[in-house]
Each structure stands twice: as C-alpha cells, then as structure tokens.
Structure 1
Amino acid sequence: MLVWGPRPAPAQPMPAPARPIAAPSPRAAACHNGLSFDRFLGELKQQAAAAGVSQRTLAEASPYLVYDQGIVNRDRGQRVFGQVFTEFAGRMAATYRMQQGQAKIKAYAAAFARAEKEYGVPPAVIAAFWGLESDFGANMGNLPTLRSLVSLAYDCRRSERFAGETIAALKIIDRGDLTPDEMVGSWAGELGQTQFLPTHYFTYAVDYDGDGRRDLLRSPADVIGSTANYIATGLKWRRGEPWLQEVRVPNAPSFPWDQADLTIQLPRSKWAQLGVTFADGKALPNDELPASLLLPMGRMGPAFLAYANFAAYTEWNNSLIYSTTAGYLATRIAGAAPMHRPAAPVAQLPFNELRELQQLLVRAGFNVGKVDGVMGQQSRSAVKAMQIKYGLPADSWPTAELLARMRGLRAPVPVAAGAAAVR
C-alpha cells in the first residue's frame, strides 16, 4: 500500500513491449556496480529461480520484464497532497462511500461473515479499505505490474525492496493465481481491489470462492478473505476490540494536551477523569481498556480515542491522515454518526512555513526525517517538545505562534491562507 487516492480505471490486458519503454538514466545503475539493466535482470532471474520460480514462469514473464524510466520518474516525483484531515476525510469518507460499503457487506454477506468468524476482522473494517483503495474494484490502476516492479528494482532508491517484490510477483504467476498479462495495477506495483504489494499478495491471499485461484482482481470473495487474513495475521488485529471512536475533549487550560499522542496510552477510566466523553456527551466506560488521544488537527479539530487496533491502520499506510480517515470510514460503515466539524476553521500554516518550521526544529537538534513540509510523526513529536518548552498547549499541531517563537520573534507573524501537506 505505497500510494493511495483515486486511480484510473483498469485497462484491458495489453501485449508486452518488445524492448525497454525508455532507457535507464545514468544514475540507475549506481547501486548495481555499474551493471546494465540486462545484466541486472539476468541476476534477478537467477535469484528468482533460486527462490523456487520455475523456468516456465520466467520464460512467460520475460517479455514483461522491461525497464520504464517513466515509472522511476513518477516514483521520484511523488507530489505532496495539500489537504488537512477534515478536507481529506470529507472527500474520501463521503456518505456515498459509506453507503457503498454497507451495500457490499449485504451483497457479500456470506464471505464477510466467514471472514469475521475465521479472522475476527469486522466487515466494516474490510469494506473501508476496499472502498478507499479502489472504490470496490472500479479503480485498480492500468499499468503492467512487472514493468513497474522491475524498473523500481533497478533504480537505486528502493532497489532491494522492489527486487523482492518482483520475485514475489513471479511466485504469484508460478502458483497459478494470475498470468503475466493479467498483472495490471498501480504504477507502484500494487495489485487487486485492496492494492496488495506482491509480497502481501503471495503471503496472505486466500482462495475464498473455491475456484483454485487467489484472484484479487476479479473475485470479491477472494478480496474479502485475503484482506481479512492480511489485517488479522499481518497487521495483528485484536478480535473483538474497537479501533477508533470520536470523542469530545474539554478545551480547558488545565487539560494535559501533551498526553494526546499515539505513543501514549491511558485507560479509558483515566480519560474519563480528565473530562473526555464520547462525541454525543455520554460518559466513557469506567474500564482499563488502553487508548490514545488522537488529535489529527490539534486541540481545535476533531478528537478520537485510538485503540490498539488502530496500529493496523498506521501499518497499512503510515500517513496519519489516510489511516485516521480509513479508521473513521470504518466506524461510519459500522453505523457511527458523522464526526463533529470544528466550530471555526483550524489555523493552518502554509507549506513553505511548515518546511521552515522543520528546518528550525532540525537546528534545535530534533530529527524530523525529511525536511519536506510534511508533518509526520517525527515532526509532530518535535513540535510537541518545543510547545512544552515555550509553555504552549502541547497538542503537536504546528502554529504561527510556535513558528514565531522559533524565529526568535516576540509575537506571531501574520500567516497567509494555505494548506499543510498530508501525512
């Protein structure tokens, strides 16, 4: 699950090209001791054979194992999305998608019931990923998978990872699940209606319709069972436990905002003592079930209790906005009310000032990962630490006041309207 968002409709299987789509750039071979693509491919085929891939499969797949510089350019040029959580969730977890999810659960009730019994994953959780990843199979991508995988394997950015994904794709073919020309998906090599990487496809796909193949492109039953298997086995889902619930947090100066962090878990009884309630004002259960307070837009935005099962969402896609949206959509499909919108627009730093803030955090000694204007977990943790230092509400949300303090100014500077990068 490397990429997400709307994808173009899948194309019909296409003839394999006879030669590379575009010549590799000079830097592509830098991590392969200068090997040409053809020699690199020869070694990769040897590794696949050593991993058990048959010569018959290698011969069938060979016409599709060609280099495409356009795929590599696309990987290196991924754009940052400019939406905050409420905007992204409003679009991706819209009412129509909730209704489609509920309809799919009714249409394939037997498969969903079987999956919940065998794996403990609720139907709404499976349906939410199904809807977000491909609109229930309508948008799976239209690019030849083997071409994408081998191109990214030859490129040096994530070579080892995609070499493994290429071999896994060949194993899928060897097992008889898909043919090379059927392998059509996203530009990053993901396959099927819930966009599995080939390693996940090979490991977790199950034959739920009993036809002898694990077909995640065309069989809804296989999609449902395989997705449940991956969530339960690969992502360690806890049977019978919640994943995300919207809550109401008292906006009081005494509230310990520094406790709002996915790395911090408190019993629900403790959150109740601090004044946290369900979104409708009802009291939280007075129990010891651990939960984290998640504020995707700081203390002025929506608030959620995230439980141990929420880790499955952040493992599926480490974008906080995507994972929170997926968890929220699942609650909606399961019958939860729409989340409460902020009473007023949440102040949001523009992209260039988020990058500046990250640069200042790096100068202050923090590791924020890549300085790219994307507020990931490392950046949010650094923001919280500086908020604590300056005596500001430590909700991990980057503000104009924090940026002004870190610039050495006494008062916040005016901030132009803008949107933060999504992660």
Structure 2
Amino acid sequence: MFERLPPYFIALAISLTANPTSANSFTVAVTQNTTAEAPQVSAVKPQNFTQWRTALRHEAIQEGIDAKLFDQAFTGLTPDRSVIAADQNQPEFSRPVWEYLDSAVSSWRVARGKSLLAEHAKTLRAIEQRYQVEPSVLVAVWGMESGFGQNIGKHNVIRSLATLAYEGRRSAFWRTQLLAALHILQEGDTNVKGMLGSWAGAMGQTQFMPGTYRQFAVDFDGDGRRDIWNSSADALASAANYLNRSDWTLGQPWGFEVKLPTAHFDYALADGHLKKTISQWQALGVQPRDKNDSYRLSQQYATLILPSGHQGPAFLLLDNFRSILKYNNSTSYALAIGLLSDALDGNYRAPAAWPKHEAMLSRTERTELQTLLNQLGFDSGKPDGIIGINTRQAVRSFQKTHNLPADGYPNATLLKKVRTAAQQQSR
C-alpha cells in the first residue's frame, strides 16, 4: 500500500535482525487499579505483556501521561501478530530504481496531483507564503506518502507501537515513539480510534512517526487540532514545516539530470558526497541533459550520483535534495519526489535509458559480494546485504584494480567478476 517506509525508519528497518517471540507471551489483562504502587522498570524483559504494560504505565505517568488516558488506550489491547510478521519479514530492497521511479511518476499520480494542485491552490499558496516550500513539492510528498490521503493505513498506532516496543528489537526506539503517541492523545489532536497508520506506526496523510509529529505537525486550518489524518491543510502544512526546518530553499531546484563525458571520466567522483560547484562540474564535462537555467546556479554546490551505475542516467543534486533526504533517507525516494514535482510543474522528461538488462542482486547475493570483497582485501565492512558507503568504496577499489569503470555500483556482472577473482586467489 505504501510507496516507502516512514521518515526516520528506512535505515532502521533494513538493519533489523530476526528475534521471534514466543506465542505464549501474548496474553494481556489490563489493570484498572490506578492507585497501586507501580513496579520499577526492570533491566530484564518481563515474561509477559501484562508485566511489560504495567512497567510502561508507570513510566508514562512519570512523563505526565494521565493514568485514565493510558488505561483507555490499552483497554483490551494485545500484541498484533501481523505487525511482528511484517517486522520480521522486511523486503530485500532489491527493486530496481527505474521501477520505483516509473511508479512514482505514473500517469495516474501526475494527473491526480495536477488536479489537486488546482483544487487546493489557495491553501497551497498560503502554505508556501508561510513555510517557503513550493506547492508542487508538497503535493509530490503527499502523493508518495499516502496516495494523496487515500492510503493512510488502518493499524491502531498504539497497538502497533506497543507490539514493536514489547517484542524486543529496537525496543528503546519503539518505546520512545509509543510514549510520543500517548502524548499526542493527551494533547487532544486525535483519539485512539482516529490514530491510524501503518504497521510501523507512521501516521496520517504525511506518514509522520509520533516523534516527528510532535516536532513538526501544525494546525493550519485553525480548528485547534493538528489533524494530519483528516485535514489536507494540516497535512500539507506539516510537510512544509518539516522541509522548511530541514533547510529547504524556495526557488532552488532539487537537482537535474546531466550528461557525462563519453571518455576518460572518473566515475569515482559520482559518490553522492563529493561537492563541487556546478561550474566546476561543467569544467569536467558534466553538462545538463536539457537546456535549463543552471547557469544562474553556477556557484551552487552539488553532488553527482549514478543511481544505476555508469550505464544509466546521472544527476547533479543540490541542497534541496538533501532536505528531502531528511524527510526520508532514501536516494530513490528523494529522486521520486524531485521528478514528480517536476512533472506536476510540467517540466518532466523521462530520464535517459536505464540498464534494464543488468540483473539486480538479491540480499543473499549482496552478502556474498561483501564477503568475497573482504576476502580479496577490499574492506566492505560486516557482510549484511546492505549496500552502504563502505561497500560502494570497496566495489570502487575492486573496479579500479581491474580497470573497470569505478562507479561503485554492484550488479550481477560485477558479482561474477568478483567471484572469478576470488576463485583465482584461492588457487
């Protein structure tokens, strides 16, 4: 249903490891006695959910949560097995970037987004004036997060977060989010029945985690509640506030597609971190794919990325791209927001051809690649199947050693070469 994982969660989700919980622990009896002395929080995980809930109740009351509100939120609540199943069966994150972006900039999403830009023009102009974020960007976020408010999730957020906090993995993170959700209820912005979201606790039309909500959600329609579930004005303004406080610059593009020199270009420069001014990139032969006004940005710093390696399209990314990454730390997501916002403004052209002939690596294959690179002396860190900075640097080092384009992009062809090198080393 959702295009992505919620803000602050994608990096967490891919690092989780399995930790099954005994079915015998899923028993709850809500304690109604609010005057009994609450037990101290133990460093050892309680044996059952009831004990855990009682300890949490004490902590919540210490934080100022009303006891009656806590009891109401937890009345009849049991851990949600479907949440645990979803948590323990994270996807392998091997969907090709071109499929993700094609879905993001689908004809339906663009048409619906343009219609909503017109329908909410007055509100969006007011939001832009206050928070200095373009309407097309906000509607792009709206579309990616919840299908423009159509898919906000059907999970009871308190139940989902309680399940995750009790189940044990990253329990401190989930406990913090659960307490934040209880504070939201106490502040009166919604009630338990209305606090719906994803299985991971991301809420409303902007898919804010409770901690994010408390920091960035705003009441823009003036009804006294920050209602990102039912008020599109509140949801859009909350997203705008988030981006504004993430250093968004009104009037500056997120980035643009570029053409690279056909010969002797150092692809290692495209690591997504090395900053050069646009004029410096142009001096290296990096030119806009289409005519644009990048000349006015010649002194702006940008980074270069190759989302699918040297065989695919290339992009120069400006500071606004990094603001989107603060909303969701995923390059594919941030590209989707940028390209969709361009489409809503009528400035979209499909990127250059993607290398669709290259097979993507599975999680198992990515782990194998890391293991083999380490054996060959190219330090990729602990083999976990997650392609991060260390792995990409190890891939680049291997590519340079074997006179290959050093784009740091792992695919089936690269894995085959690494396997061959490892076999030769072992002889």
2:274 alignment partner in structure 1: 264
Higher mean C-alpha deviation, range 47-56 or range 120-129? 47-56
Higher mean C-alpha deviation, range 394-403 or range 175-184? 394-403
Shift of 1:107: 1.3
1:390–1:284 Cα change, 3 Å: farther
1:110 alignment partner in structure 2: 122
- Is the 1:67–1:147 contact (alpha carbons within 8 Å) kept by the matching residues of 2? yes
Q: What pairs up with 1:302-381 in 2 under 5 angstroms? A: 302-342=313-353, 345-351=356-362, 352-363=364-375, 364=377, 366-368=379-381, 371-372=384-385, 374-381=386-393
5+ residue gaps, structure 2, are: 7-22, 28-40
2:258 alignment partner in structure 1: 247
Shift of 1:354: 3.1
CA–CA distance in structure 1, aligned partners of residues 345 and 382 of structure 2:
36
Q: What pairs up with 1:278-297 in 2 under 5 angstroms? A: 278-280=288-290, 284-285=294-295, 287-297=298-308
Tell me which of 263, 277, 283 is aligned to 1:273. Answer: 283
2:20 alignment partner in structure 1: none
1:147 and 2:159 matched: yes
1:141–1:283 Cα change, 3 Å: closer
CA–CA distance in structure 1, aligned partners of residues 395 and 293 of structure 2:
31
1:370–1:314 Cα change, 3 Å: farther
CA–CA distance in structure 2, aligned partners of residues 263 and 131 of structure 1:
28
Shift of 1:54: 1.9
Percent identity between the two aligned chains: 34
Partner SS for 2:82: helix
1:202 and 2:214 matched: yes
Higher mean C-alpha deviation, range 397-406 or range 302-311? 397-406
- Is the 1:269–1:288 contact (alpha carbons within 8 Å) kept by the matching residues of 2? yes
Amino acid across the alignment from 2:243: I
1:369–1:212 Cα change, 3 Å: farther
- Is the 1:381–1:396 contact (alpha carbons within 8 Å) kept by the matching residues of 2? yes
Partner SS for 1:182: coil
Deviations 1:123-151, CA, capped at 9 Å, x for gaps: 12211111011101111111111110001
Shift of 1:223: 0.6
Shift of 1:401: 5.1
1:406 alignment partner in structure 2: 418
1:138–1:399 Cα change, 3 Å: closer
CA–CA distance in structure 2, aligned partners of residues 225 and 281 of structure 1:
32
User: Matched residue pairs, number?
Assistant: 392
CA–CA distance in structure 1, aligned partners of residues 150 and 293 of structure 2:
41
2:140 alignment partner in structure 1: 128
1:336–1:346 Cα change, 3 Å: farther
1:394 alignment partner in structure 2: 406
Partner SS for 2:337: helix
1:4 alignment partner in structure 2: 4
Shift of 1:186: 0.7
- Is the 1:143–1:184 contact (alpha carbons within 8 Å) kept by the matching residues of 2? yes
Deviations 1:342-371, CA, capped at 9 Å, x for gaps: 176352344253332122234335245652
| CA RMSD, 1 decimal | 2.9
1:193–1:342 Cα change, 3 Å: same
Partner SS for 2:351: coil
2:247 alignment partner in structure 1: 236
- Is the 1:258–1:384 contact (alpha carbons within 8 Å) kept by the matching residues of 2? yes
CA–CA distance in structure 1, aligned partners of residues 356 and 222 of structure 2:
51
CA–CA distance in structure 2, aligned partners of residues 178 and 343 of structure 1:
45
With structure 1 as the length reference, what TM-score do the two structures score? 0.84
Higher mean C-alpha deviation, range 156-165 or range 236-245? 236-245
Shift of 1:391: 2.6
Partner SS for 2:257: strand
CA–CA distance in structure 1, aligned partners of residues 183 and 355 of structure 2:
53
1:146–1:281 Cα change, 3 Å: same
Partner SS for 2:303: strand
- Is the 1:64–1:146 contact (alpha carbons within 8 Å) kept by the matching residues of 2? no
2:84 alignment partner in structure 1: 72
Shift of 1:163: 0.4
1:188 alignment partner in structure 2: 200
CA–CA distance in structure 2, aligned partners of residues 117 and 64 of structure 1:
45
2:11 alignment partner in structure 1: none
Shift of 1:276: 1.8
5+ residue gaps, structure 1, are: 7-21, 413-423
1:416 alignment partner in structure 2: none
With structure 2 as the length reference, what TM-score do the two structures score? 0.83
CA–CA distance in structure 1, aligned partners of residues 105 and 5 of structure 2:
12
Shift of 1:227: 0.8
Higher mean C-alpha deviation, range 133-142 or range 363-372? 363-372
2:15 alignment partner in structure 1: none
- Is the 1:401–1:411 contact (alpha carbons within 8 Å) kept by the matching residues of 2? no
CA–CA distance in structure 2, aligned partners of residues 192 and 174 of structure 1:
18
Deviations 1:304-326, CA, capped at 9 Å, x for gaps: 11111212232322333223222
Partner SS for 1:210: coil
